[in-house]
Amino acid sequence: MSSSPRLRSLNIDNINPHVKEAKYAVRGELAIKSEEYRAQLKKAASQDPPTPPDSPFPFDKVISANIGNPQQLDQKPITFFRQVLSLLEYPPLLDNEKALRTSFGYEQDVIDRAKWLLEEVNSVGAYSQSQGVPAIRQSVAHYIERRDGYASDPANIYLSAGASSGVNTLLNVINASPKTGILVPIPQYPLYTATLAVLNARVVPYYLDESRGWATELDTIKESYQKAKAEGIDVRAIVVINPGNPTGASLSADDVASVIKFAAEEKLVIMADEVYQTNIFLGTFTSFKKGLRDLQNSDSTGKYDNVELASLNSISKGMVGECGHRGGYFELVGFDAEVQAQIYKFISIMLCPPVVGQCLVEMMVNPPKEGDPSYELYNKEYNGIKEGLRERAYALYEAFKKMEGVELGEPQGSMYLYPTIHLPPKAIEAAEKAGRKPDDFYCHRLLDRTGICLVPGTGFGQKPGTLHIRTTFLAPGTEWVGRIVDFHREFMAEYS
């Protein structure tokens, strides 16, 4: 067959230019290369006898520290969640409760939860309402009420296929023209910039302050906002990732209030990405919903009425870590009813979020309680995961602290560390020759030498002249940390 591309309808120069502009480094060139390495290692290992006898690379395992994917690494799913899901997938198991209990240790609350969810969803193989199963939205609303001490209405809860799909929905509805702009923190999780690129809308970047533990600086936000306005951009919304990705920083209640005040003043929608709300080591989590209700309660002028807030959460993170199940939700506060109807219609085109993911959302927000038969195990598993994350974060932090030219603050939360790296001029020259940004060059070398996949700071954004790397702290053990340390020493020596 001829391979002449001129016969084709589609080529790189005539497809959607906005798709082309989108960048998503978390799963970009490095991640693709790491998957190829993994496949080659698997193939080499499956030869009988394994030939070549040694790994085709100077490592025998690929470590994906590029993405927050807990169960790909060490994290075990929480037993209660998965036992319930097994019953939802095959309800005839419920016909022999005795065998479930005696042969498999299913507790009564597992069986009860499964029965209740089955009643509500009918079958996990059936489409649900586009907004999500009503009873599950009710559970989410109760969780938010317990968390914040303020009412939450299930009619304003939208279940989604992970938080990503919720962000996609909201940005699709908000962005009306190429002049619409959204304030996005830098560094940020690149879902935001990628989606805005596809939508041909404007990213209005505001830098977080690395010197203050990646805090949100109101003055910086205002400056970015004013600059964008002066350029004719119709700034509609501000994205806040709290706790931060890739930074891990959690906002203080005061910082939350400042952002809300600013948004109220400038009539901006607040998009609060709160998927790491339980992944906190330092500080505490203040939800934007609570912050907003507090302000509304303390004010009599009505200036915080109608502040529009969309808060997102997910089953992918926290101690749940069920990202492969694609579940999440967002709550809308203060939105116009007609706008909400359009949001509903938009999500209805994709029918509904995965129903098993919805059921996991339900269990995440409504886990076994003290006194329930599954509570003790649930609690042990939950705390074990939390403690494991903390330990690994600090082990990695201690290693990074000792590395030449690496600077970082104490781990605060989320699943990431985002240290600054200072590379010698010769390394920067070598990167330039290779046609790569220096941090990208560094990460490629690291992958090629150690099998460890990180994401360079260019993938998240960084102040001009600074370089960073992002690593998850999910991979088990410390052996891989040692490999980074060794690699870094050699790299620095090579280019010094």
**Interface pick for a second copy out of 50, 54, 58, 99 (rule CB under 8 A):** 99
Residue 17 contacts a second copy per CB under 8 A: yes
- Smallest separation (angstroms) from a second copy to the CB of 111: 13
Question: Are the CB atoms for 228 and 206 separated by under 8 Å?
Answer: no
Q: Does 355 bind a second copy (CB under 8 A)?
A: yes
Ordered alpha helix ranges (H), 122-271: 134-148, 162-174, 191-198, 218-230, 253-265
Among the listed residues 140, 141, 196, 198, the single contact to a second copy using CB under 8 A = 198
Binds a second copy (CB under 8 A): choice among 130, 258, 278, 366: 130
Nearer to a second copy, 227 or 267 (CB): 267
**Considering only residues 215, 239, 240, 268, which one is a binding residue for a second copy as defined by CB under 8 A?**
268
| Single-letter residue type at 318 | G
Give the position of tokens 């065998």: 99
**Do residues 39 and 446 make contact, with C-beta atoms less than 8 angstroms apart?**
no
Given candidates 33, 44, 57, 69, which one binds a second copy under the rule CB under 8 A? 69
Residues in binding contact with a second copy, number by CB under 8 A: 106
- The span from the CA of 139 to the CA of 361, in Å, is 9
**Cα 347 to Cα 199: distance, rounded to the nearest angstrom:** 16
CA–centroid distance for 284 within its chain = 19
Cα–Cα distances in angstroms (integers) from residue 123 to residues 118, 317, 389, in the given order: 6, 26, 35
Cβ nearer to a second copy, comparing 246 with 419? 246
- Nearest CB to a second copy, comparing residues 274 and 322: 322
Q: Given candidates 45, 58, 104, 112, which one binds a second copy under the rule CB under 8 A?
A: 104
Q: Does 39 bind a second copy (CB under 8 A)?
A: yes
CB of 164 to a second copy, least distance (A): 5
Q: Which of 15, 45, 155, 434 binds a second copy (CB under 8 A)?
A: 15
Q: Which segments within 51-201 are labelled E, that is strand?
A: 63-64, 157-160, 180-186
CA–CA–CA angle 294, 296, 299 (5° rounding): 105
Return the sign of the alpha-carbon dihedral for residues 370, 375, 380, 381. negative
The answer to whether residue 374 forms part of the interface with a second copy (CB under 8 A) is no
Q: Is residue 27 close enough to count as binding a second copy by CB under 8 A?
A: yes
Distance CA 106, CA 101 (A): 5
Q: Is 484 in the site for a second copy (CB under 8 A)?
A: no
- What does each C-alpha distance from 157 to 121, 280, 318 come to in angstroms? 17, 24, 19
User: Residue 252 or 278: which CB sits closer to a second copy?
Assistant: 278
Return the CA Rg of the chain: 24
Q: Which of 30, 77, 215, 331 binds a second copy (CB under 8 A)?
A: 77
| Among the listed residues 45, 155, 351, 493, the single contact to a second copy using CB under 8 A | 351
Judged by CB under 8 A, which of 47, 108, 122, 496 binds a second copy? 122
Residue closer to a second copy (CB basis): 106 or 214: 106
Is 30 within 8 Å of 447 (Cβ atoms)? yes
- For every residue of 393-418, DSSP letters joined together read HHHHHHHHHTSTTEE-PPP-BTTEE-
Q: Which is nearer to a second copy, 12 or 230 (CB)?
A: 12
Site for a second copy in 285-304 (CB under 8 A): 296, 302
Question: Measured from the CB of residue 299, what is the shortest distance to a second copy in angstroms?
Answer: 11
Interaction with a second copy in 146-175: which residues (CB under 8 A)? 161-162, 164-165, 168, 172-175
User: Which parts of 435-474 interact with a second copy (CB under 8 A)?
Assistant: none
Which is nearer to a second copy, 145 or 266 (by Cβ)?
266
List 58, 125, 477, 482, residue binding a second copy (CB under 8 A)? 125
Least distance CB 244 / a second copy (angstroms): 19
Burial of 119 (C-beta count, 10 Å sphere; 0-12/13-18/19+): exposed
Whether 412 and 346 have beta carbons less than 8 Å apart is answered as no
